[in-house]
Amino acid sequence: MRHKRTENRGRPSNKPAIIVKKFTREYDDSIWYYDLDKSPNGPYLVEMIDPTYDKLEKLYNKLERLQTPKYHENGRKKRTTKADKIKMEATERAYWKEHYKLFPEDIPKKRKRRKKKSNV
């Protein structure tokens, strides 16, 4: 029959207790980021995970990544090629298409020509 362990036997450890300062907690609909140096009372960032906006967020991140300039090893800026511009335009078109699907009230109004009044 095993006895319940009440304490560790032997000499206590000289190592200091390791305190974890940065950690995350993942829940079903959100991710909570903790950093005890930034804010000791709670999370400094809470990301809400909403599957309806996942595609829109991915397209936005892709567009931002394509628009940031790339650099050579020596520090000079790389040239933006025609293929890169085509990728940017296609991504931007896909982003706005998805955006207007989710937020139909943001669709710009179509401007029409005014009909001329006939003075008779």
Using CA atoms, how far apart are residues 81 and 66, in angstroms rounded to an integer?
11
On whether the CB atoms of residues 66 and 88 are closer than 8 A, the answer is: yes
Q: What is the pLDDT of residue 3?
A: 66
Neighbours of 59 (CB within 10 A): 19
Q: Please give the mean pLDDT across all residues of the chain.
A: 89
The span from the CA of 91 to the CA of 84, in Å, is: 11
pLDDT band at 6 (very low <50, low <70, confident <90, very high): low
Per-residue pLDDT of 34-57, as tens digits, reads 999 999 999 999 988 888 888 999
82, pLDDT greater than 90: yes
Number of H helices and number of E strands within the chain? Answer: 2, 3
In angstroms, how far is the first alpha carbon of the chain from the final one?
Answer: 112
User: In the prediction, which pLDDT does 81 show?
Assistant: 94
User: Which element (helix H / strand E) includes 62?
Assistant: helix 54-67
Structure-model confidence comparison of residues 106 and 117, the more confident one = 106
In this prediction, residues 67-83 reach a mean pLDDT of 94
78-94 average pLDDT score: 96
User: Rounded to an integer, what distance in angstroms lies between the CA atom of residue 67 and that of residue 8?
Assistant: 58
Give the Cα separation of 52 and 103 in Å (integer).
11
Reported pTM: 0.56
